[in-house]
Amino acid sequence: MKSLKILKTFILLSTVLLAHSYVNAQQASPGLTLPAGFKASVVADKLGKARHIAFNSKGDLFVKLDRSKNGGIVMLKSNGNSFEQTPAFGNYSGTGIAIHDGYLYASSNKEVFRYKLNDQQQVSDPSKPETVVTGLIDRGQHNSKSIAFDNDDNLYVNIGAYSNSCQQKDRQKGSMGREGCPILDSAGGIWQFKADKLNQTYGDGTRYATGLRNVVGLDWNKQTNTLFVMQHGRDQLHDLFPDLYTEQQSAELPAECMYELKKDDNAGWPYLYYDQLQKKKIVAPEYGGDGKKEADNKYIDPAAAFPGHMAPNALLFYTGSQFPEKYKNGAFIAFHGSWNRSPQQEGYFVAFVPFKDGKPAGDWEIFAKGFAGTDKVVSTNEAQHRPCGLAQGPDGSLYVSDDVKGTIYKISYQK
């Protein structure tokens, strides 16, 4: 009887150990394809719609959740080689999150809040955020308020255009553009606020740059001391103007663009789009374009251009020392993946752009792929994971969030 009891205990322990080994194997094999020398692991899963992410100096990872019932922010507390999930806080959805000057900043679709960090770099009082900015436009379309900071205590907030191309009738076939596009007075650009001033209203901000349809990924480049952004390009060229564009052209155009911004820059939306095949700024059909007519040179050129509709949701300049030298100061971009390409969707990967002296220096490349779980995504519903946020860990590893299943990936390099 005693021997039978010991045998049952042994079987139970073996089952538990095997299950634990299986979980670890799954965690260490997330199915990503990476360059030689890199490896990926899953450090958290099933968090919810994990959008942007940010590390504190202790190695804890803050995750901004969108449309969460239990709270909009989760802290993953570092325990050496693993993370412990702590209770969510912040009863608002949204995308933006960043740490600046001793505070955790986070955005809803209408406000920017901040939380004081204590000596352990944790939020002192999760129930009492301070309001930094309120009253930001949220009209349902392109409403995420992504954020970034410069070196002079300025806060930059994306105010996406609540329109595809500023048509008189939005997304209606053949509808022409609104003269002077009144949307640009209050949206379609980057607004600048003071990072250390509370209770600012929309009107207290400065329109820093305009002509940007929607920016979800942005980062301050410390080499150039300038703001870089990734724009989501306009949709439906063929659907709206079938006499001018084929389905294939509409799938590839317009480019998803990276811009380096200085104050008062104008990237040209909705009057133009960038054609990465012709390498030209082209007048939008809503404003008299025919797919060939070049736009006015008063609008800035992109720093880099990518195929259309891949939805760049995060931008990160790599400043660590873990990765090989080619990655130093280069840009990683999380492409969330398209919904409106035919017959196959594209994106669902992390790309890399090499930089030299603050400028792109060479062709972009796919750095990490396999998030979607299939090479042929026909519908976004087929994608198992969609990259959304990027963060650099204290050891120089790259972290990627996924807003389908709430997975957090860690990508490391071994010499």
Judgement on whether residues 11 and 145 belong to the same structural domain of the protein: no
3-state secondary structure of 169: coil
DSSP state of 301: P
The confidence score (pLDDT) of residue 376 equals 82
Average pLDDT over residues 38-67: 96
What integer is the mean pLDDT of 178-193?
97
Among 37, 41, 54, which Cα is nearest to 323's?
Answer: 37
Q: In what order do the strands lie in the sheet with 387-392?
A: 38-44, 408-413, 398-402, 387-392
d(CA 162, CA 208): 18
Strand partners, 112: 107, 133
Confidence of residue 30 (pLDDT cuts 50, 70, 90): confident
- Please state whether the peptide bond connecting residue 254 to the residue before it is cis, i.e. omega within 30 degrees of 0: yes
Interatomic CA distance for residues 347 and 272, integer angstroms:
23
**Are residue 133 and residue 246 in the same domain, yes or no?**
yes
Residue-averaged pLDDT of the chain: 91
- What Å distances lie between residue 149 and 158, 213, 413, CA to CA? 12, 20, 28
List the CATH number of the domain containing 338. 2.120.10.30
pLDDT in tens, 214-244: 999 999 999 999 999 999 999 999 999 999 9
In this structure, the answer to whether residues 144 and 17 fall within a common structural domain is no
**Residue 93 contacts residue 72 (beta carbons within 8 Å):** yes
User: How many residues are there in the chain?
Assistant: 415
Provide the whole-model pTM.
Answer: 0.92
Mean pLDDT over residues 19-24, rounded? 30
Tell me the per-residue pLDDT of 231-284, one tens digit each, with 9 for 90 and over: 999 999 999 999 999 999 999 999 999 999 999 999 999 999 999 999 999 999
pLDDT value, residue 28: 52
Mean pLDDT, rounded, for 155-167: 98
CA 10 to chain centre: 48
pLDDT band at 29 (very low <50, low <70, confident <90, very high): low
Same domain, 127 and 12: no
Do residues 328 and 308 both lie within one domain? yes
pLDDT of the residue at 145: 97
Q: What is the pLDDT of residue 7?
A: 36
- Residues of the chain above pLDDT 90, percent: 85
23, 125: one domain: no
pLDDT value at residue 208: 98
- The number of distinct structural domains making up the chain is 2
Neighbour-count burial for 173-186, b at 16+ CB within 10 Å, e otherwise: eeeebbeebebbeb
Structure confidence at residue 180 (pLDDT): 96
Higher pLDDT, 208 or 375: 208
Question: 374: pLDDT confidence band, cut at 50, 70 and 90?
Answer: confident
Q: Which of 49, 112, 62 is nearest to 89 (CA)?
A: 62
Tell me the C-alpha distance between 81 and 47, whole Å: 19
CA distance 203 to 40: 44
pLDDT score for 377 = 84
Structural domain for 177, as ranges = 33-413
Domain match, 221 and 257 both: yes
